[in-house]
Amino acid sequence: MRKKRLLLILPAMLAIGLVHAQTGNTQLGDGAGVNITSGDYDTFIGDSAGYSVTSGSYNTHVGFGAGYSNTSGSDNSTLGYRAGFSNTTGTDNVYIGKFAGYAATGTDNTFVGSEAGYRVTTGADNTFI
């Protein structure tokens, strides 16, 4: 009887693994990257870092709530308390500092410093230091 259960459970476990396959993700912290389903090579460190990411790849979110709203944006780097908090789909952004790029949703932005670009909501290729 025990062998039968194993034979039935093993294919189910393999199927689940294939449906939610991700490669090279690192998650450390309560709620860090908990919603990811298909993104690859992401790093989430800190409580709720990258919380909403489902399919974004090559993101690095470090700090409490860093990159929190990012769902499918890729190639973003956020470092600091709620840095890049509102970015949902933007790509190639760098936000470093507490609240840096907090409301930003664009692409190719670089905000460095505490609250740098805090109120910027749209636009691309911005640099705030």
According to the model, what pLDDT value does residue 22 have? 79
Integer Cα distance of 17 and 10 in angstroms: 11
Would you say the pTM of this structure is higher than 0.85?
no
Integer Cα distance of 118 and 23 in angstroms: 32
37-80 tens-digit pLDDT: 999 999 999 999 999 999 999 999 999 999 999 999 999 999 99
Domain range annotation of the chain: 23-129
Mean pLDDT throughout 11-21? 48
